[in-house]
Amino acid sequence: MSPDGGDGANAPVVVADEIATQLAFLAYLRGCVARKLEGVRDEDARRPLVPSGTSLLGLVRHLTAVERYWVRSRFAGLEAGPADDGFAVAGGDTVAATLAAYGEEAAHTDAVVRECGDPDQPLARGRHGLTLRWMLAHVLEETARHCGHADILRELLDGTTGR
């Protein structure tokens, strides 16, 4: 059972403040994405399954880049490395290493967000008055959208469905 009272396969059961609620749903979605790679061989995870060239590993690499960009660069104002959307996958990329990198970035995101704790905190780099609240909503939206893409890619790969 997860700390939010959910079982990992169903939406979290959480009655908490705004930040805790958003982080619980983000953790749930990250877990859904990671489960899409369970039992998938590295070469299959790298394989693009749609004309756009998207692969399961590319989606996870992209979500890692999304969190790095929005949290490190835009929210915290840190240098986050070269701009890379993450979708490109190298021949040596593995499921284990890609998920580990995603997990490390997720832990960093969670720590930064919890340390701030103020949903009205403005982003260090940005215009239009964007706040931590907005950034979390955007990262949640991006993760949910690509989680759906991962569902489709996994089904195309081997017929596996479900959360």
pLDDT at 8: 60
Q: Which of 139, 156, 141 minimizes the C-alpha distance to 56?
A: 156
Q: Could you state, in order of their start, the residue ranges of all structural domains in the chain?
A: 18-158
Contact 28, 12 (CB under 8 A): yes
Judged by average pLDDT, the poorest of 1-10, 51-60, 84-93, 109-118 is 1-10
Contacts of residue 146, defined as CB under 8 A and 6 or more positions apart, other chains included, come to: 33, 59, 62, 63
- Structural fold of domain 18-158: Four Helix Bundle (Hemerythrin (Met), subunit A) (1.20.120)
pLDDT of residue 80: 76
Q: What whole-number distance in Å separates Cα of residue 9 and Cα of residue 162? A: 9
pTM: 0.91
26-63 residue pLDDT tens: 999 999 999 999 999 999 999 999 999 999 999 999 99
Structure tokens that stand for 10 in this block: 């169903």
